[in-house]
């Protein structure tokens, strides 16, 4: 669980909803040529307290890509929702929030392109990058990749390259960096103010498929560390996490 806000945490501006920490796993490196195959969102309120989570594998309508990296097999996405089926829920989760990620421009580019494919332009949402924050407030990190920053912050092991595992630990890294004495409150109060003013599109919920079956969510969970490469990696469990009408 995320720790409570540190004493002296500044009050959020009126109307602020907080942060949406996102991570995507994709079938390749290019948002234009490849597709999102897993997405996770960890919601934090304006005081950096955890509010909820959303995660699911997605059917990319083609090959899943580098299984040796994200450990998603083609059989894992059988029956998973397509992006357009979860798009309404994602819009609800992201609306009014600062979008956070480690190298957040990459996650944002994949989401932006997926929404564009279904004819929904994303608004100019404020971004907050934990990689940039780590460069400024975590000087002891040996590099600025997520694993190195997590190690330098003393946050422990995590299931790398699972969208939910990466999003959860990025949320913890965000709190660590924003709580550093070298981080002025304005570094995150300003994006909160901006996010509260951004108008977001809305889509009707896709509660069922043409067959009448509920839209499934297929959640991938892995135990917290150590998360080692190859055959030593811990087992990943796939769970049907309810249907689209369910809560996050």
Closest CA to 171 of 142, 136, 128: 128
pTM of the predicted structure, to 2 decimals: 0.86
Q: Say what the pLDDT of residue 8 is.
A: 42
Query: For 190-215, what is the mean pLDDT?
Result: 81
More confident residue, 94 or 216: 94
Residue 241: per-residue pLDDT: 62
Q: How confident is the model at residue 131 (pLDDT cuts 50, 70, 90)?
A: very high
Determine the pLDDT at residue 85: 94
Q: How far apart are CA 167 and CA 104, in angstroms?
A: 11
Residue-wise pLDDT for 141-174, tens only, equals 999 999 999 999 999 888 888 999 999 999 999 9
Q: Which long-range contacts (CB under 8 A, 24 or more apart) does 57-65 make?
A: 57/218, 57/219, 57/220, 57/238, 58/82, 58/83, 58/86, 60/27, 60/35, 60/36, 61/35, 62/27, 62/35, 63/27, 64/27, 64/37, 65/26, 65/27, 65/28, 65/34, 65/37
């Amino acid at each position: 669980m995320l720790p409570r806000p540190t004493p002296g945490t500044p009050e959020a501006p009126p109307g602020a909803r907080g942060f949406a920490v996102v991570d995507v796993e994709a079938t390749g490196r290019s948002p234009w040529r490849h597709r999102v195959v897993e997405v996770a969102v960890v919601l934090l309120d304006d005081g950096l307290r955890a509010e909820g989570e959303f995660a699911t594998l997605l059917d990319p309508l083609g090959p899943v890509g580098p299984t040796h990296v994200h450990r998603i097999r083609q059989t894992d996405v059988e029956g998973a929702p397509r992006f357009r089926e979860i798009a309404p829920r994602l819009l609800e989760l992201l609306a009014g929030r600062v979008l956070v990620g480690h190298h957040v421009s990459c996650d944002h580019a994949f989401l932006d392109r997926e929404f564009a494919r279904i004819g929904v332009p994303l608004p100019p949402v404020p971004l907050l990058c934990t990689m940039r924050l780590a460069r400024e407030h975590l000087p002891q990190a040996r590099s600025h990749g997520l694993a190195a920053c997590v190690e330098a912050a003393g946050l422990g092991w995590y299931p790398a390259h699972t969208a939910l595992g990466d999003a959860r630990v990025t949320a913890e890294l965000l709190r660590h960096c924003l709580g550093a004495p070298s981080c002025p409150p304005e570094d995150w109060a300003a994006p909160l103010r901006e996010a509260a003013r951004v108008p977001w599109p809305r889509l009707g919920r896709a509660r069922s498929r043409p067959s009448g079956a509920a839209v499934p969510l297929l959640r991938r969970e892995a135990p917290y560390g150590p998360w080692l490469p190859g055959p030593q990696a811990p087992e990943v469990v796939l769970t049907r996490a309810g249907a689209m009408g369910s809560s996050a």
